[in-house]
Amino acid sequence: MSTVAGPIDRDRVGYQAVLLGGFAMIAAAMLVMGDIATRAAIEQRRAEDLLASLAQVIPADLYDNDLLADTLRLDTGDGELIVYRALEGLDVSAVAFETVGQGYAGPIQVLLGLDSRGRILGARVLSHTETPGLGDKIEVDRDDWILSFDGKSLGEPPAEHWAVKKDGGDFDQFSGATITPRAVVRAVKDGLELFAAQRDAFTASAVQQTAMDE
């Protein structure tokens, strides 16, 4: 470190290196502080967002538990799935989980809420990268289309009708965008099939689950 006496030669490589290194260190330290200061709040916001999405696909009168606390990790064959369980007492009254469809411009994440018999309580698109003005009608803020899944289940309508109208199914497509709604219908159907295949695991009552953990 240079002392106070004598002018610092600013053209020396040493000064430049210390300056640049010093700035990098200060920046790194500030980022760490910023991260520490905001981490708890951001985590809290994320939980609130998730809870708000869950509230849209599971009606509040179906549960008396903390949806974020009573989750279930399920092995689906290709990765782990987090299932949010709505409990009435100890019985599972509804579940919600994410299912993904391949859209026009990337994956479309759909949050699907089902009652214990596999009927759709609600579906919401969590994130997507579809074309603005065309494919974004899958968002509930922009169009009611996603509500057309409410009350449907795997047998109602029958399996071959789980497609957009263009493909002979029951669901509307959008003018100028068929791939996007097709992907969402597919994602929802995949979710329903997953639930049907592992229904016992999805709806295993909370008591059994605790017993298995122990």
Query: Site residues (CB under 8 A) for other proteins?
Result: 10-11, 15-16, 19-20, 23-24, 27, 30-31, 34-35, 37-38, 41-42, 45, 48-49, 131-134, 141, 175-176
* 121, 152 Cβ separation under 8 angstroms: no
To the nearest whole angstrom, how small is the minimum distance from the Cβ of residue 172 to other proteins? 16
52-69: b (≥16 Cβ within 10 Å) or e = ebbebbbeeebbebebee
DSSP state, residue 2: -
SS3 for 82?
strand
* 101, 110 Cβ separation under 8 angstroms: yes
To the nearest whole angstrom, how small is the minimum distance from the Cβ of residue 55 to other proteins? 16
Q: Residue 50, class by beta-carbon neighbours within 10 Å (0-12 exposed, 13-18 middle, 19+ buried)?
A: middle
Residue 35 or 150 having the CB closest to other proteins: 35
Residue 55 or 134 having the CB closest to other proteins: 134
To the nearest whole angstrom, how small is the minimum distance from the Cβ of residue 134 to other proteins? 7
To the nearest whole angstrom, how small is the minimum distance from the Cβ of residue 45 to other proteins? 5
To the nearest whole angstrom, how small is the minimum distance from the Cβ of residue 44 to other proteins? 8
Residue 105 or 207 having the CB closest to other proteins: 105
CA atoms in the 13 A half-sphere facing the CB of 144:
2
H runs (alpha helix) in the chain: 13-57, 179-197, 199-203, 206-213
Residue 27 or 197 having the CB closest to other proteins: 27
Residue 155 or 176 having the CB closest to other proteins: 176
To the nearest whole angstrom, how small is the minimum distance from the Cβ of residue 167 to other proteins? 22
Residue 24 or 82 having the CB closest to other proteins: 24
The CA radius of gyration of the chain, in Å to the nearest whole number, is 25
